[in-house]
Chains A and B, each alone.
Chain A
Amino acid sequence: MGRALELIRRLETNVGRALVGKPEVVRLAVIGLVARGHLLIEDVPGVGKTTLAAALARSIGAGFQRIQFTSDMLPSDILGVSVWQPERSAFVFKPGPLFTNIVLADEINRTTPKTQSSLLEAMNETQVSLDHSTYQLPRPFMVLATQNPLEYEGTHPLPESQLDRFLLRIRIGYPASGDEKTILRGTGVPSADALVPVLGVEEVLHLQAEAERVHAEEPILDYVMTLVAATRASPLLPLGVSPRGALALLRAARAWALADGRDYLVPDDVKTLAVPALAHRVLVRGATGRPRDGGVDAESVIRAIAHEVPVPR
């Protein structure tokens, strides 16, 4: 318990060195890792999506691959391909960049749905099926995807089934003016690639196991159920949260509690993570996706629901 907290703090500090002034975002990214989840980092260009993903990946002493998604990409560019080896007279599987611990899928919505969907099985079952063979992916396995919501030109929005695979969707937001100045000054802010790993694979696995053991009291489970049921009942949401979403919320909350130094869940854990864990899983009626246009977006609906659902006492 104490060790887990120390490991998490170490990781957070390391990532925080690259992403200045965003400790809550760093925390979300870290708990995504601890909760065995995949992260979707979505924001306008230039706020540090890739920096965050790269910093997290680099902070762990594990395999790391970066895939820059483009519209002409094929599934085999990610998963790998079987090639004919004349000397052995057989097809030999040549693993793609996915076969590693941390995958940074940059600008994932730039590629076609066909290629996007090739990630489905990998993200859900940590395995790849190809040519009648199934190949296990290494553990831990985590996909850090970034996407740009405003840039619609030449992008393919992720299908709901794909979105549901991501544990959390993180928005970074613009930095505070003081922090921005620090970034501009550039001194003391290392680039993500310059970070040294602070956690080994074993330690990550240990953290993930610890998070599974966080105790959830009956009222907390009821609270999660009530929240999820409220999204299904809301007139603003034609598609509510799936049971997988409820599970994801609970898993993320467990990791959050661990990062807070507790071995039990409190309602705050669930409430805090409601937006990052649920907002990308719902459809909003008549949403423009852009609050600034005067429309309602999923995050504000989820936030309102979390505000209204009675918390257990």
Chain B
Amino acid sequence: MSHFVALRLATLLLACDGLAALELAGLVSDAGTVAAALAALATWWNEPLRDRVNAVPGLARGFVLVAALASAVDLGYLAASMLDGLARLLLFLLLYRLAMRNAVRDLRDVAFLAFFMLVAAAPFTFGVGYLFVFLVFLVAGTWMLMLYHIAVESERATARPDAPVAGLGRDLLGLSLGASVATLAITGALFFVIPRIGQAALTLRTHTPRMVTGFSERVELGSFGQIETDGAIAMRVRIPEQAVGEPDRLPGLRWRGVALDTYDGRAWSVARRERSELWRSPTGEFELGRFQAMGPVLIQEVYLEPFGTDILFAAPRLLHLSVRANAIVVDDAGGVSVQNAAARFRYIAQSELESGASWSGEPLDGETRARFLQLPPLSAAVRALAREVTAGTRGAREAAAVLTAHLSGRYRYSLALRRTTTLDPVEEFLFVQRSGNCEYFAAALAVMLRSLDIPARVVNGFQRGEWNPYGRYFIVRLLDAHSWVEAYVDGAWATFDPSPRGSVEPGGPPAAVALYLDALRVRWYRYVVGWSLQDQVLAAVRLHQAALAWRLSAPDLRAWRALPRGLVMLAALVALLAVLLASRRRGAADARAALPTFYARALRTLARRGLRPGDGETAREFAQRVEAAVPPCAEPLARLTTAYEQVRFGIRPLTTEEATMIERSVLELRSRVAPFSGHPRSAAASRPPLQ
């Protein structure tokens, strides 16, 4: 394989890698990616077309002009965001460069464009797939740079651009792989060591991927229906410690979001929310509640996807929150939100789980009680049903439990929502449809509880989700969005989930491979994308502790002292000698192995005039021949020859003055050769047409 073919191959690989990066970031559609990749591959055979286009004067230029105009229009008016337009522009430039390449330089441009593609894709890909794209770029890029250097040098040095280069195959691949691994190791080390001071945010692309209804301050009944079929991942909740047993066996685990208190007959909303901004404590944490010793404490590490909500979800009765924000907003119904949650978010929450034990707290004050008993004008049938079901029960908790059981037992869960009457939605659900989604169940329960003078509120959040044992976390999808009821019984808010869906396991047994890949994705996010200063400090502390522990557990060191001192000294001496010898030999070999650079440069310069030393020709003989052919070069070349002999065969190294003299002589030689380089033969040799 000639190095030009290898160079083109490496460049094509880079171009495809750049495409893959754009595709991963969602800047180019799947179909567009496939089309662009095919077009890039097709450029391998396009010389006839290129030559024909080049033959028509101005055609290529006109094409570029049209494309530039189209790109300007795209950027200004059509593109959804600036980055989308830029990505398309990059794609066009890449394909154009590949198709119309004339010289090696164009291939270098392709590599640069591919690099820009990777840069453009970087802020939008948190996936682990980007790592692979990046690794491919690293290897292929190193490979390409080496080949490019070889190509340029051989272009300068020889008139035969397609001459095969020795050691191109496995050696070059091995070398570039080695260089890439070294680069990765060094940058990886730097990444984990250099202090991270914050998250960089590129806001070129401002539209959020998805807006979700159901978690705002006013929620129409039925609005969950749209998202309950959406399988996109909303968040992942990692349970770091096994203090509470296997988390997937915890009963009734839910991720609470927002609580709604007012029902107007059509929608639940927050009437008069008292919000307060809570500032970070000196330790960087937020204290939200006191531990009541009523249930186990669950620590959750939540990775919230940016699906268009600023609410922080956590298991009910949130005690403690650790989040990278200066302030959080807490409302009086226990909802927590942050100011700017556009990006993916990570926080750690500690919650005290409900244990079901009755516990007498303080009753609500009158105003609050009235707020959670508010009802719109209600049909008598609903009140009658509530009374009928709860007849004979004692206490609010029992009444709530009976109502919950009634709803979940007698009514059917359905996502097929339709209205056939003009009745109040709750009434229609209870008496006409007798089926609905979780919102209807929750609304019906809340309304009936309120009709019985039990304070209640509707809570929107997520079901537990799918347990991933590989990463010890729950995968919560948008279709896990859920609605349930909290009732104030026995002096505390208790959870009641009337919808039959809440008790069934969602989905079938998950595929192990998919779970494993998802766990890998989370680790990537946790340890690469979300790697923070705090993590660094923690890692350093752990390292320190490990080192201390190791030192303490290594008393064997003293055993060394028991060895005869002479033996130890001998071993040390031998090791020192070996190191010295090895380094010396290597040094000598390095110094002697190759032609001195300055002389090689001089030879390259002369090769441009077609003057190359023969096999059996010594440096002096060559200098004499050059003197006859190009008399002005004789003097600097004579100096260079002498210096070359001294460096190559002599013992004394060059002095600084000699080194300066050499540099000057090389330049002198170049300038004296240059006036003749307009020679047709050498001009053809210096830039051969690319095949």
Contact = CB atoms under 8 A, between A and B. Distances in A.
Contact of A306 (B616, B620, B649): B616
A217 B648 contact: yes
B619 interface: yes
Given A217-B592, A220-B649, A313-B595, A268 B616 contact: no
A263 B619 contact: no
Contact of A268 (B592, B618, B646): B618
Interface string B572-603: 00000000000000000000100100000000
Given A217-B592, A218-B592, A266-B645, A311 B618 contact: yes
A263 B646 CA distance: 10
B615 interface: yes
B618 A308 contact: no
Contact of A267 (B595, B618, B650): B618
A265 B620 CA distance: 13
A215 B616 contact: no
Interface in A243-264: 262-264
A220 B615 CA distance: 15
Contact of B651 (A215, A271, A308): A215
A310 interface: yes
Contacts of A45: none
Given A217-B592, A218-B592, A313-B595, A264 B650 contact: yes
B590 to A, nearest CB: 14
Given A264-B649, A264-B650, A266-B645, A310 B615 contact: yes
Nearest to A313: B595
Interface string A217-247: 1111000000000000000000000000000
Contact of B616 (A218, A220, A262, A311): A311
B617 interface: yes
A92 interface: no
Given A307-B616, A313-B595, A262 B621 contact: no
Contacts of A308: 615-616
A264 B652 CA distance: 10
Main secondary structure of the interface of A (DSSP, over half): mixed
A218, A263, A268, A311 interface centre (most CB from chain B within 10 Å):
A311
Contacts of A271: 618
B682 to A, nearest CB: 23
B604 to A, nearest CB: 14
Contacts of A150: none
Contacts of B592: 217-219
Nearest to A309: B616
A311 B620 CA distance: 11
Interface in B612-663: 613, 615-621, 645-646, 648-651
Nearest to A311: B618
Nearest to B596: A313
Given A217-B592, A218-B592, A313-B595, A263 B618 contact: no
Nearest to A271: B618
Contact of B649 (A266, A307, A309): A266
B616 A217 contact: no
B162 to A, nearest CB: 25
B292 to A, nearest CB: 86
A190 to B, nearest CB: 34
Please indicate which of the listed interface residues A219, A220, A265, A268 has the most CB atoms of chain B within 10 Å of its own CB.
Answer: A268
A55 B621 CA distance: 31
Contacts of B621: 268
B649 A310 contact: no
Contacts of A267: 618-619, 649
A262 B617 CA distance: 20
B651 A263 contact: yes
Contact of B617 (A215, A264, A266, A311): A311
A309 B615 CA distance: 7
A217 to B, nearest CB: 5
Nearest to A310: B615
Contacts of B595: 313
Interface string A300-312: 0000001111110
A25 to B, nearest CB: 20
B643 to A, nearest CB: 12
Given A215-B650, A220-B649, A266 B616 contact: no
A310 B622 CA distance: 13
A262 B616 CA distance: 22
B598 to A, nearest CB: 13
Contacts of A215: 649-651
A307 B649 CA distance: 20
A164 B646 CA distance: 33
Interface string A71-103: 000000000000000000000000000000000
B650 A263 contact: yes
Contacts of B651: 215, 263-264
A219 B594 CA distance: 11
Interface in A261-313: 262-268, 271, 306-311, 313
B440 to A, nearest CB: 90
B619 A310 contact: no
Contacts of B616: 306-311
A307 B613 CA distance: 12
Nearest to B649: A217
A310 B619 CA distance: 12
B374 to A, nearest CB: 97
Given A308-B615, A313-B595, A262 B620 contact: no
B600 to A, nearest CB: 9
A220 B619 CA distance: 13
Interface in A184-198: none
B617 A265 contact: no
Contacts of A266: 618-620, 645, 649
Contacts of B648: 217, 219, 313
A307 to B, nearest CB: 5
A273 to B, nearest CB: 12
B275 to A, nearest CB: 82
Nearest to B651: A215
Contacts of B649: 215, 217, 219-220, 264-267
Contacts of B645: 262, 264, 266
A268 B617 CA distance: 9
Interface in A109-164: none
Contacts of B615: 308, 310-311
A268 B649 CA distance: 11
A306 B651 CA distance: 26
Contacts of A309: 616
Contacts of B613: 313
Contacts of A310: 615-616
B576 to A, nearest CB: 26
B438 to A, nearest CB: 84
A2 B592 CA distance: 26
Interface string A195-211: 00000000000000000
Interface string B328-342: 000000000000000
A219 B649 CA distance: 8
Nearest to A270: B618
Interface string B30-71: 000000000000000000000000000000000000000000
A308 to B, nearest CB: 5
A268 B650 contact: no
A264 B646 contact: yes
Contacts of A219: 592, 648-649
Interface of A: 215, 217-220, 262-268, 271, 306-311, 313
> 9 closest Cβ contacts across the A-B interface?
A264-B650, A310-B615, A217-B649, A266-B645, A267-B618, A268-B618, A311-B618, A268-B620, A307-B616
13 contacts: A215-B650, A217-B649, A220-B649, A264-B651, A265-B649, A266-B620, A266-B645, A267-B618, A267-B649, A310-B615, A311-B616, A311-B619, A313-B619
Given A264-B650, A313-B595, A313-B648, 10 more contacts: A217-B592, A263-B651, A266-B618, A266-B645, A267-B618, A268-B618, A268-B619, A310-B615, A311-B615, A313-B619
